[in-house]
Amino acid sequence: MPRLAYFGVLVFIVVGSGWLEVVMRTNVLRRSRRFVLALAPVLALFLIWDAYAIAAGHWTFDPDRTTGVTLLGSIPLEELVFFVVVPFAAVLTLEAVRSARGWSVGDEPPGEQP
């Protein structure tokens, strides 16, 4: 069980932001193709950064509190999930603020500024 400690933090992030999709009607899941397109370049860049940082010894992961499953022999599975879950939470938060306040985000077509 302790090997799921990092995963526990990831679950907290999902639960802590996921309720916005229901209560604030952020509609990000219904725009999942847009999310995947937005995530792709970010995911690629940060996985490269992570792989470099691990290879250079910038950071290490406690083997007793991570599953030990890795990608390409170095990046823990938890890191991959982190780089999906955190961007998802960020988009949910931005859309939740838009939902609550009605503020312009910058993607509005001309003449449709809220």
Partner 1 sequence: MTYTQLAFAGVGLTILLDLVVLRTRLLLRRVFWVAYAIVVFFQLVTNGVLTGFEIVQYAGDSIVGTDTPRFIGAGRIAYAPFEDLLFGFALVVQTLAWWVWWGRRGVQYRPLAGPPRWRSETGSGSAPSADGT
User: Could you list the residues that contact partner 1 (CB under 8 A)?
Assistant: 5-6, 9, 12-13, 16-17, 22-28, 30-31, 33-35, 37-39, 41-42, 45-46, 49, 52-53, 56-62, 65-66, 83, 86-87, 89-91, 93-109, 114
- Kindly tell me which of 49 and 71 has the beta carbon lying closer to partner 1: 49
Q: At what angle do helices 32-55 and 77-101 cross, to 10 degrees?
A: 140
Query: What is each CA distance from 56 to 50, 60, 62, 89, 91, in whole angstroms?
Result: 10, 10, 17, 29, 31
Q: Which CB sits closer to partner 1, 73 or 101?
A: 101
- Closest approach, Cβ 72 to partner 1, in A, equals 18
Instruction: Name the minimum Å distance from CB 99 to partner 1.
Output: 3
Burial category of 88 from C-beta neighbours within 10 Å (exposed 0-12, middle 13-18, buried 19 and up): buried
